[in-house]
Amino acid sequence: MTHDGIGAPLRRKEDRRFLTGRGRYVHDIVRAHQLYAVFLRSPHAHAEILAVDAKAALASPGVAAVYTAADIAGKINGVPCAWGIVGRDGKPMKEPPHPPLAAGKVRHVGDPVAMVVADSLAAARNAAELVQVSYKVLPAVTAVAEAVKPGAPQLYDDVPGNLCCDWAVGDKAATDVAFAKAHHVAKLDLVNNRLVPNAMESRAALAEYEPSTGEYTLFTSTQLPHVARVLLGVLMLGIPERKFRVVAPDVGGGFGSKQVVYAEEALVTWAAGRLERPVKWVAERSEAFLSDAQGRDHVTHAELALDRDGKFLGLRVSTLANIGGYVSTFGPNIPTNLYGPLLAGAYTTPAIHCEVKVVFSNTVPTDAYRGAGRPEATFVLERLVDVAAHELGLDRVEIRRRNLIPKDAYPYQTPVMLQYDTGDHAATLAKALELSAWSSFAERRAASAARGKLRGIGLVTYIEACGLAPSRIAQQLGARGGIFESANIRVNPSGDISVITGAHSHGQGHETVFAQLVSELLGVPCANVEVIHGDTARSPFGLGTYGSRSAAVGGAAIAKAAGKIIDKGKKIASALLEASEQDIEFKNGAFTVAGTDRSKSFAEIAGAAYTPPPSYPLETLEPGLEETAFYDPVNFTYPGGCHVAEVEVDPETGVTVLVAYTAVDDIGTVLNPLLVEGQVHGGVVQGVGQALCEDCVYDPASGQLLSGSFMDYCMPRADDLPLIVSETACTPSAHNPIGVKGCGETGTIASPATVMNAVVDALAQYGVTHVDMPASPQRVWQAIQAARLRPVAE
């Protein structure tokens, strides 16, 4: 058999439909007699709603209904949060109601105020123009540093200071002691700029209701259909799971923004039931900018205490995190549990304390965006390490070498909750330096200088935590549900296999990589394995895909189910081969009596399970060959590695060009190197986007979103990028049975800090020690000009 199991660079099974225009996204689904929904959104960042008059809209041609907060009051509950955090004082976060349609007040531009449903999109749009809303505009605050100031506009009467939660992690006293004995303290103030995820497929929802059975079906572009069914159905709409099917068909990218449960999904479902007609909504891009959960948005002060030799003694971090106008599904968890505990990074820093003020503002809510908290932590730590190296006159590689966790120190307990299982940072560092030709950089810098350009190089040694999560730990940290994954393996009578996973693919390639995994474990050709996902009616309850968890948790669930299949197969084989079960070995797709050539193929065992021969012990062994497993991991997984970037800056224009990028990532066992490489490329480029061009900007006076289209929000294009050199290393994870760690976010976690370390290095000759993201031409040019005007220190 040609090897198409674990480690094979198999081309994707799902490609053909996408390449021939046969992908089926929610945008593409049409139902007979469907209605079209349009949302009227607030043009103001902060205002009281004085009155809503929908009479003219209702009278408009083709309109089936107009709904406002008054119409849904008591019928649809607020949008729930799935992860409540607890403050340093032991009190739960402030969690004000999040009405599906703004009630009384709007809290950001784009807050939905009314829903118009009509028999054509044009009719719905026209009618939405006729809804009269009277607002009393209030002062707005969008910047997190302003929102916490005394006298700032208050979003909620009962949330003083706009403070959702004052959270902390680590040992403050121990950290203070570490700082007291420090030889040097490096300090840095930085901003992690707000981003818009911008999956290419905008969010969309199409709901239908079957009056004869009372069943609802919602097609929605989500990363987590089962979770959506509970949050939307049970919690918001009062529809029990058995009457509510959620289908996430092909989903055109997610990056975290579709692991959030949104008001529009509930409203469309509710309207379909009320009107007894299918209702479809597709977000326009401008609407996506105003309603998809955004990412990042931190303001941070950080200090690193070092001894005389450059060893890290302690780290102190104080962050203001902007979560926008409402608590989003996982919003408060991102800048806290997924941020503070990551500040140990790949280093042996013995004492760490991190405090985070989680703050409301008149902006779109923030939530998970690729990396979710971990890029922010990496950015703080890795910028600060560079600052410390600069101030101590230490080489940037050397300071990292002195502080990396040694390979033989694993498992390694950090001072901020996490216990890392495996890793070899010295090896990934060495490999990245070699691949990036770090040692010959001076020559390339000189060549750039000869052309009037400033060349800089930067590196990052990072770690991430992914594979969310052990349910017990997650629940201690505020998760309002278990976090595990499910798999169902159905061996069909002919021996081909259906694998139904609770994870969800929106580009990752699960249909291929999970088939490879089953092929490896059960010894059947990959072509005979079909992976099914994204439909609550077909898959067992699962948590979906986010946090690089599909392979580590979903894959482990599949491995567990495959183990059960093998166990049952051995029982069947033992009867058929008249041998004791203990003597049956399963190898290379066959059940064999150990030490003999007596053997049954996998297909023969499958056949026997469904067409039991006389020797099949039906009295003691059920027919059929189908197993379900739920897998709850013992811990997170911890990918890590080293990235290196080189940039070239034009000092006359401030234009920064990324000229080289190297990524060496230890992601544990590699299931499919081709798919891993694709994940790394995509992740790196999203991080490069943050570093060099992407910026979500609100006008501070009006609260209007200034970067509200692809014309204003600059995402990387093909000609902004060099060829990325990507390699993997492997210390298998000890936290799951297949040794995988996760690869979806490593790129985004490492690359912003890597690129910015290179930018600062390029500008070092001007005395520049930090540049905030994005390093736009204007910002870089200004940094150079400011330095030129500054008196020389010496």
Partner 1 sequence: MEIKLTVNAQLVTVEVEANLLLSALLRDRLRLTGTHVACDTSQCGACTVLVDGASAKSCTLLAAEAAGSSVVTIEGLAADGALHPMQQAFHEQHGLQCGFCTPGMVMSAVDLVAVNPDPSEAEIRAWLKGNICRCTGYQNIVKAIRAGAAALRSA
Q: State the residues that interact with partner 1 by CB under 8 A.
A: 11-12, 14-25, 27-28, 30, 198-202, 250-253, 255, 284-286, 506-509, 674-675, 677-678, 681-686, 709-711, 715-719, 721, 723-724, 747
Angle at 731 between CA 729 and CA 736, to 5 degrees: 125
> Among residues 286 and 471, whose Cβ is nearest to partner 1?
286
Q: Which residues make beta-bridge pairs with 245?
A: 217
Least spacing, CB of residue 206 vs partner 1, in Å: 13
Rounded to a whole number of angstroms, the minimum distance from the CB of residue 749 to partner 1 is 15
Rounded to the nearest whole angstrom, what is the least distance from the CB of residue 117 to partner 1 in the complex? 18
Q: Which is nearer to partner 1, 510 or 770 (CB)?
A: 510
Q: Which is nearer to partner 1, 51 or 718 (CB)?
A: 718
Nearer to partner 1, 414 or 501 (CB): 501
- Please identify, using beta-carbon distances, which residue of 112 and 683 lies nearer to partner 1: 683
For residue 548, the minimal CB distance to partner 1 (Å) is: 15
Q: What is the DSSP letter of 594?
A: T
Alpha-carbon span 38 to 126, nearest angstrom: 10
Q: Which is nearer to partner 1, 483 or 680 (CB)?
A: 680
Q: Residue by residue, what is the 3-state secondary structure of 196-262? A: CCCCCCCCEEEEEEECCCCEEEEEECCCCHHHHHHHHHHHHHCCCHHHEEEECCECCCCCCCCCCCC
Closer to partner 1 by Cβ: residue 28 or 530: 28
**SS3 label, residue 781:** helix
Q: Among candidates 341, 612, 631, 620, which has minimal Cα distance to 469?
A: 631
Let me know: does 621 contact 744? Beta carbons within 8 Å. no
CB of 15 or CB of 395, closer to partner 1 = 15
CB of residue 24 to partner 1, shortest distance in Å: 8
The CB-of-327 to partner 1 minimum distance in angstroms stands at 26
Which residues lie below 8 Å from residue 163, measured CB to CB, with a gap of 6+?
Answer: 94, 148, 357, 358, 359, 360
Classify residue 618 by burial, with Cβ atoms within 10 Å: 0-12, 13-18, 19+.
exposed
8 A C-beta contact, residue 426 and residue 346: no
Given its phi and psi angles, is residue 110 left (phi above 0), alpha (psi -120 to 50 degrees) or beta?
left
Smallest gap from Cβ 223 to partner 1, in A, equals: 11
Nearer to partner 1 among residue 165 and residue 676 (C-beta): 676
CB of 22 to partner 1, least distance (A): 7
Q: How far is the CB of 790 from partner 1 (least distance, A)?
A: 37
Q: How far is the CB of 641 from partner 1 (least distance, A)?
A: 17
- Between the alpha carbon of residue 483 and those of residues 253, 511, 734, the distances in Å are 22, 22, 19
DSSP letter string, 141-180: --SHHHHTSTT---S-TTSGGGEEEEEEEE-HHHHHHHHH
Where b means 16+ CB within 10 Å and e means fewer, 262-283 reads: bbbbbbbbbbbbbeebbbbbbb
* Nearer Cβ to partner 1 (319/516): 516
Nearest to 602 by CA among 486, 515, 519: 519
Nearer to partner 1, 450 or 711 (CB): 711
Tell which residue, 207, 389, 211, 340, has the closest CA to residue 281: 207
Report the nearest approach of partner 1 to the CB of residue 715 (Å): 6
Please give the structure tokens belonging to residue 378: 């990496």
